[in-house]
Structure 1
């Protein structure tokens, strides 16, 4: 970390190491319009805002949000002085994500039940086969 105009700045390598991702990933987020570092020649200089955004991008991905959804939230934040629009959108996205996850959870639970039934049938048939050979 260095300082530029009394503000901490970071290199792509420092951010990659801090968040355990590749510099290529960070460049990809930049290409997608999610980060906008300053440039000094060929070098990217990231400010604290970029660092916070990178953290939010990674959190959003972990929660299952697409990069487009993250970008929508960033755009709302950048264009609205109050955060009500951003918060309302975040609530809508959260509700949608929760509905998808609940459906996936139901599907997984159903599959687990089916696996339990198949496993039980296999064990019963195997036990019958073993009993038949022993008799």
Structure 2
């Protein structure tokens, strides 16, 4: 099985595309994930939807919007609320993790490999021999 991130972007349009991907693939949803980090003393959130592998090919996509939501202390975000509402509607829990920021890595692919390792260790992704 191949597990790979598909990055959508950081904007509102990208976020709404993530919601649409989850809605249109509701029968394939494996997990909703909220990944938190801190960049320059600012809390940032990435949102991800993991789908079960397609019937053919064994490809498990992880669609995500990387560090596109900034959170001020004591406040919430409308996008996080919408993500949570969709997860509830689709009868999914949201796994929350705190990780190192992508700026700590010289290459975006190294960051994605790091995240896959973190997600596997925290049972947010199945092992490769699943």
Same structural fold, with TM-score higher than 0.5 when normalized by the shorter chain: no
Q: Based on CA coordinates, which of the two structures has the bigger radius of gyration?
A: 1
TM range (shorter): under 0.3
The structure where strand makes up a greater share of residues is 2
- TM-score calculated relative to the size of structure 1: 0.24
The structure where helix makes up a greater share of residues is 1
- TM-score calculated relative to the size of structure 2: 0.25
